[in-house]
Amino acid sequence: MLRRDFCKQAGLLTGSLLLHHQLAEAFAPRHLTGKIRIGIIGCGDRGTGLLKILQELPSLFEVTALCDELPFRLHDAQKIGTASKAKTYADYHALLDSRAVEAVIISVPLDRHFQIAKDALLAGKQVYLEKTMTYDIAQALELVRLSQQRPNQTLQIGHQYRSSPLYYRVKEMIKQGYLGKVTQIDCRWDRNGSWRRPVPEPGLERKINWRMYREYSGGLAAELLSHQLDFINWAFDTHADEVFGTGGIDYYKDGRETYDNVQVMVRYTQAGMVGNFGATCGNARDGYLFKLKGTKGTISLLIDQGIYYPEQETLKQYGTVDGVTGATKITWDKNGGIPIVTGKEPLKDGSWYALSDFYRAISEKQLPDSNVVTGARAACTVHLANRAIYNHTVEKWQPAYDLS
């Protein structure tokens, strides 16, 4: 193949791997049916984070209600943008009874995801449910059944990175064969910190630091690694077949129950891949690391940046890609990689794209990309990972988890 043909097929004529124009347009929010009146159930770190994103989408959403059991969280949430006008609730049932709320964001501890999402659907609301979708597999399967009985309601799951144009482009590159046959996936999401939030009084320890207690939390696998596990399912249209895991409370001996150091290995038999997923609270050097390794090349991803590294044999086949007559010279990084760029403007926060997609799914009555079925697949994988980690077992995918 001629060098110019390779450049053209790889989308490199503008000096980088550019997202197709029509894909970029798809991420621009459109004013279709007017503002959607939305309430937020759970005003902790994640709930207020999403509230701030909603302030950037004033033509799409109007925040009409806020709910949290802790008064100081409601007070802090009301200070954000136009949320001062929202009605506040201590009981989510009362919020769901309100006709001033058409849609809800559910950002509560994991053990409460299922019941509140179920109640919201039964109340006729459109639902954006934070990841991981449910605490366990049985809840995931039941929520799929309930949601599918209510086709006029949207249930979107908050795996927000798959809504990013960057991750769409990577999925497209995999499909188009840039990586060849992918056999290895290496992922980490590391930090150097206890994950502990300050508690104003001892009685609130489990409400505020719920992530550290197994009664409420799926730990690092649910809170961090679920994003990468979900993307692999989506990009390769696959699921885990065998899950191995280990971990421990290896540094923070502070009474927590969920592990501060975990490693999960996943065998994707049908796809012919092995995935390695790890997280620690004791070292932040790698931070967010996501590498997809194929016979023709590697993609290395951060949350908002990506680099494509062709294999040596790929370069031999196509020649040294250094530009084409009449085109901008291709930009290589210092390690011999080609930046994956999705447009002239910097990427926005992944949640901006996810909430824009939520609006579009409701307005156009279309299934969002991160929906109840894909959310269930990720939730099942996370639960299998935690079984493997805590029970020292090899967990296997079951036919009952295959949903469509």
Q: In angstroms, rounded to a whole number, what is the distance separating the alpha carbons of residues 385 and 207?
A: 24
pTM (predicted TM-score): 0.90
Same domain, 53 and 166: no
Residues ≥6 apart with Cβ < 8 Å to 294: 178, 179, 180, 181, 182, 183, 311
| 84 and 215 inside one domain | no
User: Could you give the CA distance from residue 372 to residue 213 in angstroms, rounded to a whole number?
Assistant: 26
What is the per-residue DSSP string for 293-328? EESSEEEEE-SS-EEEEE-HHHHHHH------TTSP
Number of domains, the chain? 2
pLDDT of residue 1: 38
- Domain C-terminal end among 95, 127, 161: 161
The whole-number pLDDT of residue 343 equals 78
Does residue 184 share a domain with residue 229?
yes
Q: Please identify every stretch of the chain with a pLDDT value under 70, giving residue numbers as ranges.
A: 1-33, 318-334
pLDDT the model gives residue 316: 74
My answer on whether 157 and 174 are in the same domain is: no
Among 141, 161, 181, the domain-final residue is 161
Asked if residue 248 is part of any domain, the answer here is yes
Question: What does the alpha-carbon distance between residue 209 and residue 241 come to, in Å, rounded to a whole number?
Answer: 32
Tell me 212's DSSP state. Answer: G
Are 177 and 50 part of one and the same domain?
no
Residues 176 and 298 in one domain: yes
Half-sphere exposure of 263 (CA within 13 A, CB side): 4
Residue span of the structural domain in which 262 resides:
3-21+162-346+373-401
Q: What is the pLDDT of residue 33?
A: 59
CA atoms within 13 A on the CB side of 74: 17
Q: What angle do CA 143, 166, 269 make, to 5 degrees?
A: 55
What would you measure as the largest C-alpha separation in the chain, in angstroms?
Answer: 69
pLDDT at 319: 53
The residue to which tokens 């969920």 are assigned = 258
In a domain, 356, yes or no: no
- Choosing from 126, 144, 161, the residue where a domain stops is 161
Picking from 168, 158, 376, 389, the residue whose alpha carbon sits closest to that of residue 279 is 389
What rounded mean pLDDT belongs to the chain? 89
- Say if residues 355 and 128 touch (Cβ distance below 8 Å): yes
Q: 221 by DSSP, 3-state: which?
A: helix
